[in-house]
Structure 1
Amino acid sequence: MRFRHLTIDCVEPYALAVYWSQLTGWPISEVDVPGDSEVLIEAPAPLPGLLFIRVPEAKSVKNRVHIDWQPTGRSRDDEVERAVSLGASIHEDHRSADGRGWVTLHDPEGNEFCIERSETELAR
């Protein structure tokens, strides 16, 4: 089998796809438009795409699965700041004084994700 998409239930698929497209730099599929009930952002191969699907209910509990992101070209702290400027909010801050740790955020619809240290930061 091939891991094709990671599907995220949401209220506004296109708006959430725009957020994630801006954060990842991955494009929204050419066939998707505002108002669609399913919207895909296309990841570079071999990564799975992120598929946003409209559901009638709002998120009400903690996700059972979430994505851990490792920055490329930026530090963890720069990436956290950028994610927040795009519409995320910090949920739990696990950074320590020695530079270790990660940050758990909520996307604009409340889905959890983490930003870890970059490879450069881990090598120090």
Structure 2
Amino acid sequence: MLLRHVTIDCADPYELAGFWSKVTGWPVSDVDKPGDDEVLVEAPAPVPGLLFIRVPEAKTVKNRVHFDWVPTELTRDEEVERIVALGAKLHEDHRTAEGRGWVTLLDPEGNEFCVEQGKPTPVG
């Protein structure tokens, strides 16, 4: 069995897919357009894509599943700053004085996700 997509319910699939495309660097599918009810962010194989589907109800509680991202090019703190500049909001800060820990952010529709320590973050 192969995991094809991770599906995220949302109010505006094209807008939220655009945010996640900028976060990941993965493209929005060429066949998807603003106003579509389903929009795919295409991940490099064999990683599953992110499929955003319009639903009528708003998010009301904490996610039961969320992403834990590990930066590969930047430090955790640089990555958090970059993602916040793209439109995410800081939700919970679990960084320690020793430079360890993670940060929980909210995407533009309030879905939680974490940025963990990848490349060491200098202390001081």
Which band: TM-score by shorter chain?
A: over 0.9
What residue in structure 1 maps to residue 15 of structure 2? 15
Instruction: Find the counterpart in structure 2 of residue 121 from structure 1.
Output: 120
> 1:82 — aligned with what?
82
2: CA distance, partners of 1:68 / 1:114: 5
* Cα deviation 1:65-114 (Å, max 9, x = unaligned): 00000001100000000110000001100000000000000000000000
Which residue type is aligned with residue 21 of structure 1? S
Q: How does 1:37-52 map to 2 (within 5 A)?
A: 37-52=37-52
Q: What amino acid is aligned across from residue 98 of structure 1 in structure 2?
A: E
Please list every run of 5 or more consecutive structure 2 residues that lacks an aligned counterpart in the other structure: none
SS of structure 1 residue aligned to 2:95: coil
Q: Distance in 2 between matches of 1:58 and 1:87?
A: 18
What amino acid sits opposite 2:43 in the alignment?
A
Counterparts of 1:72 and 1:31, CA distance in 2 = 29
Shift in Å, 1:121: 1.7
Residue aligning to 2:98: 98
Shift of 1:25: 0.2
Cα deviation 1:26-73 (Å, max 9, x = unaligned): 000010000000000000111000000000011000000000000011
Q: Distance in 2 between matches of 1:108 and 1:88?
A: 6
RMSD: 0.9
Q: Give the aligned length.
A: 121
Identical columns (%): 70
In structure 1, stretches of 5+ residues that fail to align are: none
Name the amino acid aligned to 1:106. Answer: L
1:63 equivalent in structure 2: 63
Q: Which residue of 2 aligns with 1:73?
A: 73
